[in-house]
Amino acid sequence: MKRMSLRLKNKLVRTVSKLSLDERVSSDSTGNFDLQNKKDSEPVPTTVTDDETEDEEEEPKKIWKVMITGGAGHLAVCLVEKILEMAQRDIVEGVKSDSDEEFERILPFFEHLDRLRKLEKTKKDDIISTRLSDYLQIILIDLAYPEEGSLNPFCAFAQGSFADENFIKPLLENVTTIFHLAAVGMTGRFARDREACMQINSVGTMNLLSWARDKGVKQFIYTSSVGVIFGGDPLINIKESDRDHTENFFNFYCESKAHAENIVRQASYENMKTTVLRFSGIYGVGEKRVTERVINFMKTGWWIAVFKSNGVEAQTQLSSVDNCVQGLIKAELALRHKDSKNGQIYNIVDRHPVGTFSFWAPVDQALGFPKQKLTLPPIVLRVLARSIQSSSDFFGVEPFFTVFEAELLLVTTTFSTARAARELGYDPYPSAIPEICRRYASSEASATFEQERARRANNFLKKMTLIVLVGHAALYISYFFVYYILLAVSYIVHAISSCLWALIGFFFAAIRFFWSCISIFFY
């Protein structure tokens, strides 16, 4: 109980308050109080109150039970950390007692203040740990098991699909909030399977909403992608209400997400409120799908060019992991209010637009590569992306680079966060690029690191030289190849035209001969 758990501190406050100032400051080297002047038989006066002898009956607080689909992913791990931080902060506020002010007042009289503060902190930490399980429960759902060390001890993990009714229904008992992060088709074997994407991402989400409503879930937050409105045309400071879903989806993932958005919005009502959050290229320290993939490519030294249309770089706004977590938490908090808007869509992206290539340039330079890059027209990257994707589809393997990713790099896509700021209180954090540089490119330039930087720079220059030489060779080969093809075509055309003229001459000669014969016959 709240007061019973602080009985020891209350006794200490009352006991020490009755000591004289001299007695308070006369302590031995071990931190024990010198009470030799007091008789051993003399009891220390204490007053026991009713609050200390009787348990105070408190109304049981309702547990905040959270379910997170896609619970093995990096975003889910960061979301769990933030939820636990919120819960611990609430518990700390709850364990504060009326004697805190008095306790802080008398502590300076002790010589060993630090030790006493540590004891007090340890006691509060024990209280927080004890009460956390009574305050919060988190269930993580995923087909893949979390990486070793990433599963928080305060979380329960269940391995399975959110679209499996027999699996998910028992887990929904007493759940208050669902963060639906899971989806398939962005990469992997489902990327080319439209039926699987629609069945899991769209129909599966619809079923999860139905089961959640039956179990009394109050808040449902769905994560989507800006790909649902991107069809290849530029998007400039787009608001959520400016554009409907595109009809030219780049992949089945975006198509299924668009259908799921409509389902989630229409499912919102008073007893279970829903919200849709749109992210754009989630990145951050520890994030694998974008960040570590880009960095691993940089380390190969093959990032030797940028692609600009008429010398102008496309602009974009990505979504850092911290901003995604902030959006998820603030969306959940907003849905708790009775008069809150629900069934809405919010853009959750970084504050400022950045160049699609220059955004990653600080990381590349921190890894030791030169700043100078070749500048090529966008058509080169488009042809390369289509070639890679077509080859991957033909051989049934996952593409290293897709047409969708190429278009996001070549076409400007920026978004307005005004609605999220106004209705959720969303306030984007600064870019995570400096933190990424510190994490993946050591700021302590040791000798080994400097050697690695020099090696990368040399490899980069060698590869760039190779590309230039191969490019020139290809141009010369193409020139001679095209020259001889055109020459052969010209000979063929000349021969055909000569034959045609000969046929025409023969035709007119035959007509003249026939006319001569007719003239002789009649005349």
> For residue 400, what pLDDT is reported?
85
pLDDT band at residue 19 under the 50/70/90 scheme = very low
**Residue 495 CB coordination number (10 Å):** 10
> For residue 522, what pLDDT is reported?
67
pLDDT band at residue 105 under the 50/70/90 scheme = low
pTM of the entire predicted model: 0.74
pLDDT band at residue 516 under the 50/70/90 scheme = confident
* 275 bridge partner residues: 221, 344
**Could you tell me which residues come within 8 angstroms of residue 366 by beta carbon, excluding any fewer than 6 positions away?**
437, 440, 441
State the chain's mean pLDDT as an integer.
81
The set of long-range contacts for 421-427, using a CB threshold of 8 Å and a minimum separation of 24, is 423/334, 423/340, 423/341, 423/344, 423/346, 424/327, 424/330, 424/331, 424/334, 424/346, 425/330, 425/334, 426/326, 426/327, 426/330, 426/346, 426/348, 427/326
pLDDT band at residue 217 under the 50/70/90 scheme = very high
15-19, 241-245, 262-266, 463-467 — which one is most confidently predicted on average? Answer: 262-266
> For residue 246, what pLDDT is reported?
92
pLDDT band at residue 459 under the 50/70/90 scheme = confident
CB 230 within 8 A of CB 284: no
**Side-chain-facing half-sphere of 213: CA atoms under 13 Å:** 16
CB 83 within 8 A of CB 54: no
Which residues participate in catalysis according to the annotation?
A: 257
> For residue 88, what pLDDT is reported?
82
Q: How many residues does the chain have?
A: 523
Architecture per CATH, domain 64-470, reads as: 3-Layer(aba) Sandwich (3.40)
Closest by Cα among 287, 423, 437, 289 to 359: 437
Poorest-pLDDT segment among 88-102, 106-120, 250-264: 106-120
> For residue 56, what pLDDT is reported?
46
